[in-house]
Amino acid sequence: MRAVVVDRLMTPEELTVRDIDPPALGEGELRIEVRAAGCNFSDVLMLKGEYQVKPALPFVPGGEVGGVVKELGPGVTGFAVGDRVLSRCALGGFAEEVVAPAAQAYALPDALSFEAGAALPTVYPTSYAALVWRAPVAPGETLLVHAAAGGVGLSAVQIGKAKGARVIATAGGPEKLEIARRAGADVLIDYREQDFVPIVMEETGGRGADVIYDSVGGDTTDRSLKCIAWNGRLLVIGFAGGEIPSIKMNRVLLKNISLVGLHWSAYPEKEPEAIDACMKGLFEMAATGGIDPLIGARHPLEEAGEALAALASRKTVGKVVLVP
């Protein structure tokens, strides 16, 4: 089968496609014919050895797929050959086939395409766990979402709106702001041209944002603390800006702020029982139109490097997928 193989630490531009043997199928596993594989910033970090998870070389990257069940491993129940599924498979998704634990696969609702299925398993659970469980946003509250036109940012905008929040979105340039508006954002801020701090304060009558969804880090985090409300919650989602910030704790004290981390990738090990509940909630939101993954770009496997490079440079909108 064709697959993207990482045999050394490298940049996205160095990725190549090879013919390799299909992965072995074990007990409790599904063989899935990949119709679409989602690209994530974590894939970029993993190639360079900078992610929390460091798989042994060589490996096939790609942690989320939408596809069709091709073969059942021993002991698998609840699935049949030909079923449409999505899976958070950890590794192996950038290929024509992947083997994944059946426990990490879900029937793909008819309302969702294979590409939407590949867009769902990472960014949407991240935002669901963040905004429903870790720092629940209440109807009528103000949610500030940074990098709101990217895959994870758009999921936060949609879930925030589904929860009844007023959403302020930051993004770089008119095109990306229009994407955020279509996702439901109420207030748009071009961070390249505008200082988001005074605009957030003005839009909230001087109160500040109740919940801030920060996947950027660096100076964005520091400035966010200047426009967060009393009893506000700052969600630490990631550091796409490349710099891990240090926070002045006096600001946390003076405004009664909660700093809330969200590491969705650790849930399978630390809190596996929460995953089914999360996916159930997301499928319910999808059924009512509350969420609708935006596919911003589609690439063949041979363009995996191009896709990840664009993602790393924040040139993408919505979700980027590979289509074998």
Q: What is the mean pLDDT of the chain?
A: 94
**Segments of the chain assigned to CATH 3.40.50.720:** 123-263
CATH of domain 123-263: 3.40.50.720
What per-residue confidence (pLDDT) applies to 41? 86
Give the pLDDT band (50/70/90) at residue 317: confident
**Segments of the chain assigned to CATH 3.90.180.10:** 2-120+293-322
Give the pLDDT band (50/70/90) at residue 324: very high
Mean local confidence (pLDDT), 156-168: 97
Mean local confidence (pLDDT), 92-113: 94
What per-residue confidence (pLDDT) applies to 42? 87
Residue 314 has pLDDT above 80, yes or no: no
SS (H, E, C) the chain: CEEEEECCCCCHHHCEEEECCCCCCCCCEEEEEEEEEECCHHHHHHHCCCCCCCCCCCECCCCEEEEEEEEECCCCCCCCCCCEEEEECCCCCCECEEEEEHHHEEECCCCCCHHHHHHCCCHHHHHHHHHHHHCCCCCCCEEEECCCCEHHHHHHHHHHHHCCCEEEEEECCHHHHHHHHHHCCCEEEECCCCCHHHHHHHHCCCCCEEEEEECCCCHHHHHHCCCEEEEEEEEECCCCCCCCCCCCHHHHHHCCCEEEECCHHHHHHHCCHHHHHHHHHHHHHHHCCCCCCCEEEEECHHHHHHHHHHHHCCCCCEEEEECC
What per-residue confidence (pLDDT) applies to 177? 95
- Please state which CATH class domain 2-120+293-322 belongs to: alpha beta
Residue of 306 and 316 predicted with greater confidence: 306
What per-residue confidence (pLDDT) applies to 23? 95
Digit-coded pLDDT (tens) for 224-281: 999 999 999 999 999 888 789 999 899 899 999 999 999 988 898 899 999 999 999 9
Digit-coded pLDDT (tens) for 34-77: 999 999 888 999 999 988 889 999 999 999 999 999 999 999 99
